[in-house]
């Protein structure tokens, strides 16, 4: 589990009595500290759909979230000020980026305002007894799997509630209140708030759940792989005997989580011993085809997304959708119409016949899977991978050797130097030159660069008609996904 509050030097500021939060029917006014974050903005949207007066503050007010909130009439105050909490709202939601000395978070604590973390507020107000939480977790694949499950349910006319850490291409949505019992949630293992170091998914009361993968991540809050895995062991223990736990059976470590739950366990994957599996997998110019084996029946599937990992995501969603009453033919037609998630192999343009693809991959396993998937989908294009190690884990030397091996399917690699933060330990940081040399040693040309402005001219000179440019970062990447297509168009 993440570091205990008692081990932190400012523990007295993190442990304090919090007033009881009113029941949802008694909450009229809600203030979100850090409202422009992906999850917090979506939560604000749920409060708005529920008819509450919701607003918030952030110091990074910019599109697309600022535009999304403005279109819904949700007020956002730029910068943080305790005055934003006077008069006091019925509920203050404290984002997990807040420290104990954050001006608004400190005021909420000192004034004893009713306050919750993002996952607490989601559970308290929307995962009530009338709903049936379906929680999708895992180191990789949870955003796409959550979107797939929502899409399958909606495809047959259901109206689930949902909250996803990404935007569905089919609808442009990442959340909805919904009217049916299922509420589909992407379950994040990161900690909840400065006063609650439990993983977010520990708050979500799962009735059914997915664990897609368990690979050490978030080295800033988990001590080691055993500590990280323990979070998932605790999560699956939340399911009761009437629940369903879907595990990726292709991974023995994930399959072993079945020992920690009393729920019904079913496995999915490509290996033949799985309960739900894909057979006869073929990559095509328009995605993949496979035979879905589900509940003793076979169904031919045409799936638009490339990559073995996306087939596993589709199987996980199929397993839970079947649990919710969908037939194999309904699942197959739903999978065929799924257009993917934004920032997951999202095509940003084809300027001068250069295919520009944007992806969120940052863990070395995800980077490798994404590069391989794009290579398989576009075998005739020269593949140029441009990667930014930006997350707290990817910026560390922890996976330096793995990054050196993750780009074997690319034809050329550009690696951005990781951003440096004030509290970084330089001895623990990734050495981009060493990674680049390891990539070169494996036969792939590779170079580093310090910032997007400096590399854009090089990319323009490097990328030729017929190439694919794969951009990977879990951040904005200095606007590169938007800027590169424009620069290539202007240079044509």
Q: Is 200's pLDDT higher than 80?
A: yes
Q: Is 147's pLDDT higher than 60?
A: yes
d(CA 357, CA 481): 8
Q: What are the start-end ranges of the H helices in 166-250?
A: 225-236
d(CA 225, CA 219): 9
Q: Is 485's pLDDT higher than 70?
A: yes
Architecture in CATH of 127-336: 3-Layer(aba) Sandwich (3.40)
pLDDT in the model for residue 364: 86
| Superfamily (CATH) of domain 346-491 | Mur ligase, C-terminal domain (3.90.190.20)
d(CA 235, CA 245): 11
Sequence ranges of the chain with CATH classification 3.90.190.20: 346-491
Angle between helices 142-155 and 308-323 (to 10 degrees): 50
Q: The domain 5-123: what is its CATH number?
A: 3.40.50.720
CB contact at 8 A, 269 and 262? no
Which DSSP symbol is given to 292? E
pLDDT tens track for 36-74: 888 999 999 999 999 999 999 999 776 678 788 989 999
Its pTM stands at 0.86
pLDDT in the model for residue 363: 83
Q: What are the start-end ranges of the H helices in 50-94?
A: 65-71
Q: Is 2's pLDDT higher than 70?
A: no
Pairing between strand 264-269 and 276-284? parallel
What's the CA angle centered on 81, arms 75 and 83, to 5 degrees? 80
pLDDT in the model for residue 138: 94
pLDDT in the model for residue 234: 96
Average pLDDT, the chain: 91
Pairing between strand 196-199 and 208-211? unpaired
d(CA 473, CA 478): 10
pLDDT tens track for 72-100: 999 999 999 999 999 999 999 999 889 99
Sequence ranges of the chain with CATH classification 3.40.1190.10: 127-336
Q: What are the start-end ranges of the H helices in 3-84?
A: 11-14, 38-49, 65-71
Sequence ranges of the chain with CATH classification 3.40.50.720: 5-123
Among 255-259, 320-324, 377-381, 383-387, whose mean pLDDT is lowest?
A: 377-381
pLDDT tens track for 302-318: 999 888 889 999 999 99
pLDDT in the model for residue 3: 62
């Amino acid at each position: 589990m993440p570091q205990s509050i008692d081990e932190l030097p400012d523990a007295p500021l993190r442990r304090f009595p919090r007033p009881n939060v009113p029941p949802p029917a008694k909450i009229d006014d809600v203030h979100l500290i850090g409202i422009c974050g992906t999850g917090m903005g979506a939560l604000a949207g749920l409060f708005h759909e529920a008819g509450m007066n919701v607003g918030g503050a952030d110091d990074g007010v910019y599109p697309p979230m600022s535009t999304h909130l403005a279109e819904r009439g949700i007020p956002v105050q730029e910068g943080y000020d305790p005055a934003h909490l006077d008069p006091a709202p019925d509920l203050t939601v404290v984002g997990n980026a807040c420290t104990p000395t954050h001006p608004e978070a400190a005021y909420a604590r000192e004034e004893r305002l009713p306050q919750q973390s993002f996952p607490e507020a989601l559970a308290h107000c929307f995962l009530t007894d009338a709903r049936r939480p379906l929680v999708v977790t895992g180191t990789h694949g949870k955003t796409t799997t959550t979107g797939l499950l929502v899409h399958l349910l909606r495809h047959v006319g259901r109206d689930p509630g949902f909250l996803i850490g990404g935007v569905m291409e089919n609808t442009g949505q990442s959340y909805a209140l919904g009217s049916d019992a299922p509420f589909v949630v992407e379950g994040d293992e990161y900690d909840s708030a400065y006063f609650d170091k439990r993983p977010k998914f520990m708050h979500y009361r799962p009735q059914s759940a997915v664990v897609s993968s368990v690979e050490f991540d978030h080295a800033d809050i988990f001590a080691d792989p055993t500590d990280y895995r323990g979070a998932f062991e605790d999560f699956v223990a939340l399911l009761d005997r009437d629940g369903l736990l879907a595990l990726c059976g292709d991974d023995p470590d994930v399959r072993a989580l079945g020992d920690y739950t009393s729920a019904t366990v079913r496995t999915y994957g490509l290996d033949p011993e799985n309960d739900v599996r894909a057979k006869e997998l073929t990559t095509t110019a328009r995605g993949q085809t496979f035979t879905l084996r589900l509940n003793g029946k076979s169904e031919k599937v045409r799936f638009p997304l490339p990559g073995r990992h996306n087939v596993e995501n589709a199987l996980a969603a199929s397993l839970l959708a079947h649990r919710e009453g969908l037939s194999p033919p309904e699942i197959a037609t739903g999978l065929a119409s799924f257009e993917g998630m934004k920032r997951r192999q999202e095509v940003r343009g084809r300027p001068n016949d250069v295919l520009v693809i944007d992806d969120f991959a940052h863990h070395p396993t995800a980077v490798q899977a994404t590069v391989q998937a794009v290579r398989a989908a576009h075998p005739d294009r020269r593949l140029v991978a441009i990667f930014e190690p930006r997350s707290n884990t990817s910026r560390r030397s922890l996976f330096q050797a793995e990054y050196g091996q993750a780009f074997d399917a690319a034809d050329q690699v550009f690696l951005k130097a990781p951003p440096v933060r004030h509290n970084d330990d330089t001895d623990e940081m990734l050495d981009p030159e060493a990674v680049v040399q390891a990539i070169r040693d494996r036969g792939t040309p590779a170079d580093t660069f310090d910032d997007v402005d400096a590399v854009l001219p090089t990319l323009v000179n490097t990328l030729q008609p017929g190439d694919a440019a794969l951009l990977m970062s879990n951040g904005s990447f200095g606007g590169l996904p938007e800027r590169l297509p424009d620069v290539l168009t202007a240079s044509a």
